Amino acid sequence: MTPFLPIRAGLIPALAAAALLVAGCATSVERIETGEVKDLSGAWNDTDSRLVSEEMIQDVLAREWLTDYTRQHKRQPAVIVGEVRNLSHEHINVNTFVADMERALINSGKVKFVASSTERGEVREERKEQELHAREDTRKPMGQELGADYMLKGTINTIIDVAGKTQVRYYQVDLTLISLADNGKAWVGQKKIKKLVKRSNLRF
């Protein structure tokens, strides 16, 4: 029979603390709605990208340039999204912001949308393949692309203000709609976001 070993004083609290530490290290995952706002760090996030793009696209489509162009040319203008430069202090996935703008433009039904230079390159390669391998009645001819009338491009900037454990993060998004015919600026838009971040362990 195994002899009973007395438990040393203080061992039980130590074991309990170790169990709590292990439990605290466990990963917890909760599924949330993609449209739900969750600001964790105060940095630029998916909500900022979606709201800024939707608001700015609504503004550009409500201005006089669109009605003037449609009246003069008797058709919808073709728009392409150019470069959006990240000049901020943090890493921002500009591709998601551009995709949000493209979706808002296409879904508006007020303009025609032209594929980006990267997308056009892939489509052109497909046309070359069709010239060699596709049936004649299904081939898509070269030289029939829709040329863009306007290019939308812009920048994302930040200003970070820190005092102790409090931080103010200021974002400014500037977009410009440029006529490809004469380089004239048809619209200039600006959206600002300011966030106050307070943390007991905030580090910069």
Q: What is the pLDDT of residues 88-145, one digit of tens each?
A: 988 888 999 999 999 999 999 999 999 988 889 999 999 999 999 999 999 999 999 9
Q: 13-22, 55-64, 83-92, 128-137: which range is least confident on average?
A: 13-22
Q: 39-53, 80-94, 145-159: which range is least confident on average?
A: 39-53
Helix (H) or strand (E) holding 161: strand 150-163
Q: 26-40, 44-58, 103-117, 169-183: which range is least confident on average?
A: 26-40
Strands 150-163 and 78-86: parallel
Residue 200 has pLDDT above 50, yes or no: yes
What is residue 17's predicted lDDT score, i.e. its pLDDT?
62
Average pLDDT over the chain, rounded to whole? 84
Helix axes 46-61, 94-108, angle to 10 degrees: 40
Backbone angles phi, psi at 141, to 5 degrees: -70, 155
Is residue 154 within 8 A of residue 173, CB to CB? The reply is: yes
pTM of the model: 0.75
Considering only residues 161 and 186, tell me which one the structure prediction assigns the higher pLDDT.
186
Q: How confident is the model at residue 6 (pLDDT cuts 50, 70, 90)?
A: low
pLDDT digits (tens, 9 = 90+) for 151-172: 999 999 998 878 888 888 899 9
Give the neighbor-by-neighbor strand order of the sheet with 112-113.
112-113, 78-86, 150-163, 166-179, 185-198
Q: How confident is the model at residue 44 (pLDDT cuts 50, 70, 90)?
A: confident
Q: Domains in the chain, ordered, with CATH?
A: 46-198 (3.40.50)
